[in-house]
Amino acid sequence: MTENLSNWYVRLNRKRFWGGAFDQDKLAAYQTLHQCLETVALLAAPIAPFYMEKLFQDLNRNEAAQSVHLTLMPEWDEALINKDLEERMTYAQQISSMVLALRRKVSIKVRQPLQKIMVPILNPSFEAQLEAVKDLILGEVNVKELEYLKDSGGVLVKKIKPNFKSLGPKYSKLMKQIAAGIGTMTAADIGLFEQTGEFSIHVNGEEIVLVPEDVEIISEDIPVGW
């Protein structure tokens, strides 16, 4: 709740809450927040009974509300779940968090605008989802442009190494050979692996199909000059 509701939804919707006339957009923002807080009050009432009772009564001050402890728990409604929206918001949060972390790393404050950020694109679906929240990301990190890197060769330096926790139970006797095969993968191989979600190597005449959890792909800092 702290991250998604307080640090994200409420903070990003401050203009909707405070500015302008009381129109449908502002009403929708308040109704969404009200429903979220009321649901929190209902779910947390068993572990924080007095505080959640106060929250519930404050939220329903103009209604003949019963106690939070006499109100039925909310029911899960699958029709209200928008997976595409959740995915877009997750991307926006993750990318914003990474950019802000990079700013802190090099001591560039958020109030100083930057020209652009570059994001590797693995597939068209990811690009479409990112495009839908592009303005939100740029506003969050104070950057003017977002560039999609469909071919990150020469820009991002990636390394791949075996994940022994995943590979061990499946290929214990072939671990050394598989690790050696993974070590020979080129940048193009790594890119293809990221796009398709699998990669085949041959060990002692046997085809080994690697999946994402079998490896760790690490992106190094962009080389100087970019």
**Structural domain boundaries of the chain?**
2-79, 82-149, 158-219
Residue 168 has pLDDT above 80, yes or no: yes
Per-residue pLDDT tens over the stretch 98-125: 999 999 999 999 999 999 998 888 778 8
> Of 15, 62, 67, 14, nearest to 41 (Cα)?
67
Q: How far is 134 from 116, CA to CA, in rounded Å?
A: 12
Query: In percent, how much of the chain has pLDDT > 90?
Result: 58
- pLDDT of the residue at 152: 59
Query: In percent, how much of the chain has pLDDT > 70?
Result: 94
Q: How far is 183 from 160, CA to CA, in rounded Å?
A: 7
Q: How far is 155 from 150, CA to CA, in rounded Å?
A: 11
Per the prediction, the chain carries an average pLDDT of: 88
Please name every residue paired with 207 in a beta bridge, in sequence order, or none if there are none: 202
Q: How far is 56 from 97, CA to CA, in rounded Å?
A: 32
CATH code of the domain made up of 158-219: 3.30.720.200
Q: How far is 153 from 149, CA to CA, in rounded Å?
A: 9
Residue 63 has pLDDT above 80, yes or no: no
- pLDDT of the residue at 42: 95
CA atoms within 13 A on the CB side of 77: 5
> Of 179, 216, 169, 174, nearest to 194 (Cα)?
216
What is the CATH superfamily name and number for domain 2-79? Isoleucyl-tRNA Synthetase; Domain 1 (1.10.730.10)
Task: Locate all alpha helices (DSSP H) within the chain, ordered by sequence.
Answer: 11-12, 14-18, 24-44, 49-59, 83-105, 124-132, 134-141, 164-171, 175-183, 187-196
Please name every residue paired with 180 in a beta bridge, in sequence order, or none if there are none: none
**Global pTM?**
0.71
Residue 222 has pLDDT above 70, yes or no: no
Spatial contact of 16 and 29, defined as CB atoms under 8 Å apart? yes
Q: How far is 53 from 68, CA to CA, in rounded Å?
A: 6
